[in-house]
């Protein structure tokens, strides 16, 4: 895998033993990027003229399982593609979602670059980084510009949750660039957008499953779309 640039940004890290947090995705994760709010007392700048309608900028549309979309409860192997209903601020359609997981020993240099206290960095040494790679393919030519890559629910081999760093900005380490917003040209059939999310834990208890639980799917195993390592 080619090296990717390392960019360091300030984050807010929640620690559960070693800066670990559970992986429970918020509602409406992995869909349209919401508009930024204007601080109280300030006047927002006039928007630039545009002819592109954005009906889902602040509204969550109803998505349905139809056509080639996989049914709730579908189980796949890592590397297999699932067709899922999806939407952006502009339109709703479907994407092909493929996920894989890579486990690497966390390099000291990358740990040193994380915005954590020294005692928390010390607890990460000897641990593994788990890179969750997501590949989204625009299946039907829907305008999915600037969508957010899904935040999947990860579980480890033991049934627990891997650690995550939650923050306000991007977290990049060698081999996993935190690029989780699709480009503006993710709007034509066949376009591909790839992202990576960072988790960490011990090598003996790697990520064994990833679940997509955003509507029209749900968090229950019988209603989610789940990838497993075998």
Q: 140 pLDDT exceeds 50? A: yes
User: Edge-to-edge, what's the strand order for the sheet holding 225-228?
Assistant: 75-77, 225-228, 207-212, 153-156
Contacts of 15 (CB under 8 A, 6+ apart): 21, 120
Residue 98: name the closest of 3, 225, 230, 199 by CA: 225
Tokens 């349209």, located at residue? 32
- State pLDDT tens for residues 21-69: 444 343 445 576 544 443 444 444 545 544 578 999 889 999 999 999 9
Of the candidates 220, 209, 192, 223, the residue with the CA atom closest to the CA atom of residue 152: 209
**Where do runs of H (alpha helix) occur along 16-174?**
108-113, 118-124
Q: Which two tokens stand for residue 176?
A: 């996993």
- pTM for this one? 0.78
Q: Please list, in sequence order, all residues whose beta carbon lies within 8 angstroms of the beta carbon of residue 222, skipping any fewer than 6 positions away.
A: 72, 73
The percentage of the chain sitting over the pLDDT mark of 70, rounded to a whole number, equals 77
Q: Which two tokens stand for residue 73?
A: 């409860």
| Strand-pair partners of 192 | 137
pLDDT of residue 66: 95
Closest among 229, 171, 224, 230 to 30, alpha carbons compared: 224
Q: Give the span between the Cα atoms of 187 and 81, in whole angstroms.
A: 19
pLDDT at position 178:
79
SS3 at position 10: coil
Q: What is the pLDDT of residues 81-115, one digit of tens each?
A: 999 999 999 999 999 999 999 999 999 999 998 88
Backbone phi, psi, residue 118, to 5°: -55, -40
């Amino acid at each position: 895998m080619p090296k990717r640039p390392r960019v360091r940004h300030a984050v807010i890290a929640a620690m559960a033993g070693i800066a670990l947090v559970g992986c429970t995705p918020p509602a409406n994760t992995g869909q349209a990027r919401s508009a930024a709010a204007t601080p109280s007392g300030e006047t927002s700048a006039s928007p630039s003229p545009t002819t592109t309608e954005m009906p889902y900028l602040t509204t969550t549309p109803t998505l349905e399982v139809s056509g080639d979309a996989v049914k709730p409860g579908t189980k796949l192997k890592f590397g297999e593609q699932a067709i899922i209903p999806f939407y952006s601020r502009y339109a709703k359609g479907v994407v092909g979602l493929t996920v894989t997981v890579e486990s690497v020993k966390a390099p000291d240099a990358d740990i040193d670059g994380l915005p954590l206290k020294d005692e928390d960095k010390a607890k990460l040494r000897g641990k593994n980084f788990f890179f969750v790679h997501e590949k989204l393919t625009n299946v039907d030519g829907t305008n999915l510009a600037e969508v957010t890559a899904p935040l999947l629910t990860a579980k480890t081999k033991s049934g627990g949750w891997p650690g995550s760093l939650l923050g306000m900005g991007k977290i990049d380490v060698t081999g996993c660039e935190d690029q989780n917003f699709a480009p503006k040209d993710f709007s034509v059939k066949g376009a591909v957008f790839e992202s990576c999310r960072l988790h960490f834990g011990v090598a003996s208890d790697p990520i064994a499953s990833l679940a997509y639980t955003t509507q029209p799917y749900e968090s229950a195993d019988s209603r989610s779309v789940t990838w497993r390592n075998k």
